Amino acid sequence: MPRKRPGALRAARGTFEGRRPPAWAWELPSVDRLSPAPSAEVHWALGARAGNVAGLLSMYRRFLRTPGRRLWLVPSGCPGCPGCALDDVAVVRDELADHYRAVPSEARRALGRVLRLLDEEFRHRTFPDPDPPAAHWTDWSGDPYPWWHRRLYADNP
Ligand SMILES: [Zn+2]
């Protein structure tokens, strides 16, 4: 189920581009499976939200670990609340996209590589929705939703 997109994470990127993260960012544990340089960039750019990247990636992987060759998306029973909205893997993917846009280029490349592999499997195991509900095409501002919203849901809401 689509959601409103805050876009709050988008602004800060220019601040970090082309600069080396400070020492504290290198001392923090690596983010998911990212190597030290991209991890440090994620910590620097996202601060306390850096942990969300790892959490969202593990939610995405958990969805892909569902047994069976084919997967259906599952709508959130409570899409209006930020925690429950993440029960829908398309919303998890939205948040990963927001973080992807918010981090500096080295982190963006590294995160992009991780996302491409996961997306490939997601595309392969879910079905495109030939006739998605209007709510899955555009968001509240009329912008088109990314492709991962136009996949078949277990019970088309
Ligand atoms: Zn809730």
Instruction: Give the Cα-Cα-Cα angle 55, 50, 48 (nearest 5 degrees).
Output: 115
78 alpha carbon – ligand 1 mean position (Å): 5
Q: How far apart are CA 49 and CA 25, in angstroms?
A: 13
Amino acid found at 67: P
11 alpha carbon – ligand 1 mean position (Å): 28
Q: How far apart are CA 153 and CA 157, in angstroms?
A: 8
pLDDT in single tens digits along all 157 residues of the chain: 455 554 444 545 567 878 899 999 999 999 999 999 999 999 999 999 999 999 999 999 999 999 999 999 999 999 889 889 999 999 999 999 999 999 999 999 999 999 999 999 999 999 998 887 776 677 777 778 899 999 999 975 4
Residue 110 CB contacts under 8 Å (≥ 6 apart), including other chains: 34, 35, 38
So what's the pLDDT on residue 5?
A: 52
Amino acid found at 150: R
The DSSP result for the chain, as a single string, is: -------TTSTTHHHHTTSPPPHHHHHSPPPTT--HHHHHHHHHHHGGGHHHHHHHHHHHHHHHTSSSSSB-B---SSTTSHHHHTTSHHHHHHHHHHHHHHS-HHHHHHHHHHHHHHHHHHHHHB-B-SS--GGGTB-TTSPBPPGGGSB-BTT--
Residues in the chain: 157
96 alpha carbon – ligand 1 mean position (Å): 20
Amino acid found at 98: D
What is the rounded end-to-end Cα distance, in angstroms, of the chain? 8
Amino acid found at 55: G
Residues with CB under 5 A from ligand 1 (ion): 78, 81, 84
